[in-house]
Amino acid sequence: MERTYDLVIRGGRVVDGSGRAAFAADVAVKDGRIVQVGQVSGAGAEEIDASGKIVTPGFVDIHTHYDGQATWDGRMQPSSWHGVTTVVMGNCGVGFAPCRPQDHDNLVRLMEGVEDIPFPVLSQGLPWNWETYPEYLDALSQRAFDVDIGSQVPHAALRVYVMGERGVNREPATAADIEAMAELAKGAVEAGALGFTTSRTLNHRDSRGNPTPTLTAGEDELTGIAMGLAEAGKGVLQFVSDFATGVDEFAMLRRVVEASGRPMSFSLAQGGANPKGYRMLLGAMENAVDAGLDIKAQVAARPVGVLLGLELTMNPFSRHPVYKEISHLPLAERVARLRDPAFRARLLADAELGSGPKGAVPVMIETWNKMYRMSGRPDYEPTADTTLEALAAARGCSPQEIALDHMLTDEGRGMLYMTFLNYTEGSLDAVREMLDHPNTVPGLSDGGAHVGTICDGSFPTSMLTHWTRDRTRGPTLPLETVIRMQTHDTAAAVGLNDRGLIAPGYRADINVIDHEHLTLHAPEVVYDLPSGGRRLIQRASGYEATIVAGQITYRNGEPTGVLPGRLLRGAQAAPVALAAE
């Protein structure tokens, strides 16, 4: 029998990424593109029975940090386990190009501090077969991946490349410095960078505790670089900021967009100090959009929270003197000591009395009313009666005892979950409000980063399970809306207009999902990074097939062996036949 198509997906419920109601249809693929949606009579060289399943575009994650991993690994896991078929890296102003040889350690220590990727992992893993940003893209273009990869030029690397130690030390840029950075940024987007990113948050520090080089960059510097993109006529801007001055900071970012005409996105979350502050930023963004500016906010799908455990970067005892006596021991030996009644009593007494210097103990890892036990099936909207503080009160013991007992489960692999953004009021109502706003997109998964503290590359699965099916503590979101948000909307936000829809002519990046049984599993620790480095991963079940450029990359969560993903160079145009629609 003649095979008309390379692949046909039959009998599924298509959620096409446009936001319209799901519909029954077959999907035919040839030469990496979708060629027919409807009743397909011709046969495929390969066919998938999607009866009882949903068929969606591949997910586009626009906020990742695979800048290092992409140079040594072909699989952008954990993201590619969660239906993601395109990732965009280089966010938050950190990355590895451009970079002179003498500055390698500066950028590695910055990535180590900001994104919790250990120095030995990066030192061994990075090939450094580039100096300029175009050379970095050229190096990536020689590699194959399980997803498509887009990259952005990071401000910290750009600043250090031009200014050297003056840039590291956050000295003001001169007019000549700004002109040089603008020219390099222009060249980067002309070579294929999707845009320019920067950070203005005190949370971003290198591994020695120094603030990111871009923290206090002036408006003239930011505007000058943005004008480099404007001169190229391409590229997006991405900002993360503490918004310490509120509307004044946003007004400055707005002026950068007004001057350059380039689209901008910024990170938006509910903070603890001002739980309603996100509404001020939503309002300021609405005013800017009404004035014709292209500004969007990136919103996380759930609380931004730190995972704590004996195998991880931090735990509630990690800076107490008694724990430090055993912190160097292998996990099994530490578990044995922690189970010893005499040592346990010493540790708990030390922890409860706070005998360690208080300034050395991060406040967040002793915030018992924001800390929960991580279960086998994670609950990302836990109730107040399940905090360690509440459990301790109910049992008549200390939160430290609850924490220690849980971390000792599974031979010392038990994890705690400490929320610090998006959960100030003990629910995800604020997250829903932000996600439901017309000018926001899902983002901030940080896939590839925070390898010992955060595991949020699974955000796309949380969007599909919690927000469309499982939430019981408030309104959900329509499935069609959630699919549109993390396919068409995220792709469009960075100019990738050739994907994110299931329609003829579009790139054949597709998921076949058993939505009814889609399950997000608990995070786990593996040691598969360069130099044997540790990282957190998180899997899901229910992704029956993930397809990149018409090739099946994963079946039931397991890789098929093909790596059709490639480096993306710049924005991608919508299919010609549909560009005007």
Which amino acid is residue 510, in one-letter code? I
Residue 380 backbone phi and psi in degrees, to 5: -95, 10
Q: What angle do CA 25, 30, 33 make, to 5 degrees?
A: 80
pLDDT of res. 576:
82
Buried b (16+ CB within 10 A) or exposed e, 329-361: eeeeebbeebeeeebbeebbebbeeeebeeeeb
CA 192/CA 148 separation, integer angstroms? 13
**Above 70 in pLDDT, residue 203?**
yes
pLDDT in tens, 288-302: 999 999 999 999 999
DSSP 8-state code for residue 574? P
Q: Which of 203, 245, 183, 180 lies closest to 93, judged by CA?
A: 203
pLDDT of res. 3:
85
pLDDT in tens, 88-101: 999 999 999 999 99
Buried b (16+ CB within 10 A) or exposed e, 216-246: ebeeebbbbbbbbbbebebbbbbbbbbbeee
Strands 59-61 and 84-89: parallel
Mean pLDDT of the chain: 95
CA 40/CA 63 separation, integer angstroms? 36
- 8 Å CB contact between 80 and 146: yes
Q: Is 297 helix (H, G, I), strand (E, B) or coil?
A: strand
**Above 60 in pLDDT, residue 358?**
no
The whole-number average pLDDT for the span 23-47 is 97
| Distance between first and last Cα of the chain | 36
Q: Is 350 helix (H, G, I), strand (E, B) or coil?
A: helix
| Model pTM above 0.85 | yes
**Above 70 in pLDDT, residue 577?**
no
CA 363/CA 356 separation, integer angstroms? 13
Q: Which domains does the chain have, with CATH numbers?
A: 60-72+90-302+423-444 (3.20.20.140), 307-421 (no CATH)
Which residue is associated with the tokens 């910024």?
Answer: 266
Which amino acid is residue 140, in one-letter code? L
Max Cα-Cα span within the chain: 77
Half-sphere exposure (CA, 13 Å, Cβ side) for 148?
A: 29
**Above 50 in pLDDT, residue 243?**
yes
Q: Which of 80, 1, 206, 134 lies closest to 564, judged by CA?
A: 80
The whole-number average pLDDT for the span 225-241 is 98
244 pLDDT band, cuts 50/70/90, is confident
pLDDT of res. 567:
98
CA 110/CA 471 separation, integer angstroms? 38
Task: Decide which of 319 and 65 is more confident.
Answer: 65
